């Protein structure tokens, strides 16, 4: 299609298309991998993760072709960077409802294309891993036939041998990436979109820092190239992330094809939908600033004075003296002589968890630098866990809300609350939420897709995972630590849901595996007497409430605990008809609220006992409620 160029409009739009004020706070003065890590923290925080099936409808907001000969009024046709012909009419076009699974030729329909292939991060061919699986920032609509020919092959500069030539000039060819050892096939997009591809791949490298080391660095599903030569550009490191010769190619592509209006508009549209941005569209100069490290060829000095500062039943704390080298990136901790580190940290202290009580362990530490050269070992320290302690052995699910779920898929009042009572900070990158479904036709139980947690959670911190389609009155997307419409947060009473460590080790569970459960239309709150998780669900550990009930969701205490801890006040009569009276030091109460069993606040009064000792309930329908006096809750029955 003929490209529409409106310089004045484009300049004006670019100026107004910057990130919201304050979005990149904290990046000033940073360069190198420190800048990359700070950006990661920003674009990962409170990202709203939609379901993969939501993407086609969202493409009508993110990927309409308004930049070539359709213009700004286009409300139907998608922009496909694999088939777009910038200076002539396209051979074919797609609308949102032209989604298909397979194609034997170009022009039959489109696929949802993971620009960083799904095989990079998926657990298996049958289970997809969220949030990566549905991240709009790197999943775009493209021609199904070209997508299938691209398969899992990387993008790259093609050589003289072409395997496929596509209608817009893009091609599958043998790799000819300068200084890069990969000799398999690559997909080479046309020049018009090489910068788009480069900035998208680098977004992935920043967004999923902390998880990159667990991703696949060599594809294994390609039909024509063996895994030994069919290489993913990820290099297994968290900071650098991508092989340097491949980085050099992406830098060249980004420079030669600068940020376009299409990318700016798409970045803004994606931000409106999932609340995070591609930083290299907002700041393309950051690419050179991040991947500009010039490491030396000298291995760092070994850290020293390794000691164990605390030994508990399930974890020990280690501390050591930093290596003196200026280019240290971090430290790898080794246990019991293993060649695989049990932990990697940028600091000089760490908690090693998931240990066995009454067991002796040995630890040693190595430093690594910006060139990923590793030091020699520190001294070795021996530490023995104790037989028992008061801490929980792992994270624990404390609230499970199976709320209203309508057939239109517009309401999913589902939430999980998880608490860390382990006595130490926990790295969430090794945790996920798994779910099982039942095939209604065959009756078979099967595993759904999974949702991976990330980041860290402090000791005694409670956090909530919420479905973005929730309409719970007591809790919002902005309050939740994780917001996802992935399979694990679409549960109903028949599903088994678990918190798992290292993909498959069950930490805590709702329901029973490999069967149909009966936890529908109910909210489950862990009893205050339960202080550790269990891999076998026991209903006696939980208090049951109606669906949509979310009293004190995200807090450290359940409603039952609030009532049990309440010694300051007494309410009467109960049941009540007209007025609730309160005995105790009521003059200190700042706020009184009446809350129904769904968690909805239906009455609020400031300084309620300034001139009286009672609260009127005459206008409230009969039922069960809570009277909340500041942070203390009292259950009552209204007749």
Query: What tokens does 461 get?
Result: 């911190």
For the purposes of burial, counting CB atoms within 10 Å of the CB of 341, is it exposed (0-12), middle (13-18) or buried (19 or more)? middle
**pLDDT given for residue 520 in this prediction:** 74
Across-strand partners of 515? none
Query: What tokens does 286 get?
Result: 């950051």
Model-level pTM? 0.85
**pLDDT given for residue 248 in this prediction:** 97
Closest CA to 526 of 399, 413, 358, 406: 399
Across-strand partners of 456? 427
Q: Within 10 Å of residue 198's Cβ, how many Cβ atoms? A: 25
**H or E element at residue 304:** strand 304-311
**pLDDT given for residue 518 in this prediction:** 83
Closest CA to 598 of 545, 541, 534: 545
CA gap 42, 482 in Å, rounded: 14
**pLDDT given for residue 599 in this prediction:** 66
Give residues with Cβ within 8 angstroms of 498, minimum separation 6.
433, 434, 435, 506, 507, 508, 509, 510, 513, 535
CA gap 286, 280 in Å, rounded: 7
3-state secondary structure of 594: strand
**pLDDT given for residue 242 in this prediction:** 95
**pLDDT given for residue 13 in this prediction:** 37
CATH of domain 304-384: 2.60.40.10
**639, 576 Cβ separation under 8 angstroms:** yes
Across-strand partners of 483? 48, 466
φ/ψ region of 533 (left if φ > 0, alpha if ψ in -120 to 50, else beta) reads beta
For the purposes of burial, counting CB atoms within 10 Å of the CB of 40, is it exposed (0-12), middle (13-18) or buried (19 or more)? buried
Residue 615: phi and psi, rounded to 5, are -130, 130
CA gap 591, 281 in Å, rounded: 47
The yes-or-no answer to whether 304-384 and 396-557 have a common fold is yes
Q: Does domain 566-638 have CATH number 2.60.40.3080?
A: yes
**H or E element at residue 164:** strand 158-165
**pLDDT given for residue 568 in this prediction:** 66
CA gap 487, 495 in Å, rounded: 11
**pLDDT given for residue 403 in this prediction:** 85
Q: What is the dihedral of CA 232, 237, 238, 239, to 10 degrees?
A: -110
Alpha carbon 541 to its chain's center: 29
CA gap 255, 599 in Å, rounded: 53
CA gap 82, 639 in Å, rounded: 67
**145, 168 Cβ separation under 8 angstroms:** no
For the chain, what are the domain ranges? 7-290, 304-384, 396-557, 566-638
CATH architecture of 396-557: Sandwich (2.60)
**90, 83 Cβ separation under 8 angstroms:** yes
**56, 139 Cβ separation under 8 angstroms:** no
pLDDT-flagged residues of the chain (< 50): 1-16, 220-229, 556-566
CA gap 277, 37 in Å, rounded: 15
- Which residue shows structure tokens 């099967």? 446
């Amino acid at each position: 299609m003929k490209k529409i160029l409106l310089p004045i409009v484009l300049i004006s739009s670019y100026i107004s298309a910057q990130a919201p004020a304050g979005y990149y706070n904290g990046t000033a003065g940073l360069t190198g991998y420190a800048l990359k890590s700070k950006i990661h923290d920003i674009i990962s925080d409170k990202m709203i993760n939609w379901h993969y099936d939501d993407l086609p409808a969202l493409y009508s907001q993110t990927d309409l072709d308004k930049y070539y000969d359709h213009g700004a009024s286009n409300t139907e046709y998608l922009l496909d960077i694999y088939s777009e012909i910038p200076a002539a009419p396209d051979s074919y076009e797609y609308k949102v409802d032209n989604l298909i699974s397979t194609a034997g030729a170009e022009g039959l329909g489109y696929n949802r294309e993971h620009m960083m292939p799904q095989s990079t991060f998926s657990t298996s061919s049958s289970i997809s891993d969220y949030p990566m699986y549905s991240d709009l920032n790197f999943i775009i609509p493209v021609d199904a036939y070209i997508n299938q020919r691209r398969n899992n092959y990387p993008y790259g500069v093609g050589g003289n041998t072409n395997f496929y030539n596509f209608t817009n000039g893009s091609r599958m060819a043998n790799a000819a990436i300068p200084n890069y050892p990969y000799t398999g096939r690559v997909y080479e997009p046309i020049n018009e979109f090489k910068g788009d591809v480069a900035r998208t791949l680098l977004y992935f490298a920043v967004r999923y820092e902390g998880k990159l080391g667990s991703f696949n660095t060599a594809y294994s599903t390609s039909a024509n190239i063996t895994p030994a030569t069919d290489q993913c550009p990820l290099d297994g490191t968290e900071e650098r992330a991508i092989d340097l010769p491949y980085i050099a190619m992406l830098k060249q592509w980004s420079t030669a094809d600068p940020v376009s209006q299409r990318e700016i508009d798409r970045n803004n549209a994606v931000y409106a939908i999932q609340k995070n941005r591609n930083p290299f569209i907002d700041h393309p100069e950051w690419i050179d600033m991040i991947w500009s490290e010039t490491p030396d060829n000298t291995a760092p000095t070994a850290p020293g004075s390794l000691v164990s500062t605390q030994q508990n039943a399930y974890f020990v704390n280690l501390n050591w003296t930093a290596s003196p080298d200026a280019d240290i990136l971090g430290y790898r901790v080794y246990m019991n002589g293993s060649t695989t580190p049990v932990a990697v940290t940028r600091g000089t202290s760490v908690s090693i968890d998931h240990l066995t009580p009454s067991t002796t362990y040995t630890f040693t530490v190595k430093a690594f630098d910006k060139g990923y050269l590793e030091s020699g070992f520190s001294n070795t320290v021996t530490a023995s866990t104790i037989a028992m302690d008061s801490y929980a052995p792992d994270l624990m699910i404390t609230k499970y809300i199976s709320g209203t779920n309508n057939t239109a898929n517009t309401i999913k009042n589902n939430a999980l609350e998880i608490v860390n009572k382990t006595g130490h900070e926990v790295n969430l990158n090794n945790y996920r939420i798994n779910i099982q479904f039942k095939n209604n036709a065959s009756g078979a139980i099967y595993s759904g897709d999974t949702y991976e947690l990330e980041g860290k959670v402090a000791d005694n911190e409670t956090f909530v995972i919420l479905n973005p389609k929730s309409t719970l009155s007591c809790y919002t997307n902005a309050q939740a630590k994780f917001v996802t419409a992935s399979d694990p947060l679409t549960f109903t009473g028949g599903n088994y849901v678990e918190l798992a460590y290292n993909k498959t080790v069950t930490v805590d569970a709702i329901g029973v595996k490999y069967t149909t459960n009966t936890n529908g239309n109910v909210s489950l709150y862990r009893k205050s007497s339960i202080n550790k998780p269990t891999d076998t669900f026991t209903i006696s550990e939980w208090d049951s409430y109606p669906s949509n009930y979310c009293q004190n969701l995200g807090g450290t205490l359940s409603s039952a605990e609030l009532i049990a801890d309440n010694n300051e006040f007494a309410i009467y009569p109960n049941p009540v008809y007209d007025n609730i009276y309160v005995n105790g030091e009521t003059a200190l109460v700042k706020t009184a609220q009446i809350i129904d069993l769904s968690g909805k606040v239906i009455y609020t009064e400031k300084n309620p006992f300034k001139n009286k000792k009672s609260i009127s309930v005459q206008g409230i329908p009969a039922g069960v409620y809570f009277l909340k006096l500041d942070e203390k809750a009292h259950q009552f029955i209204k007749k």
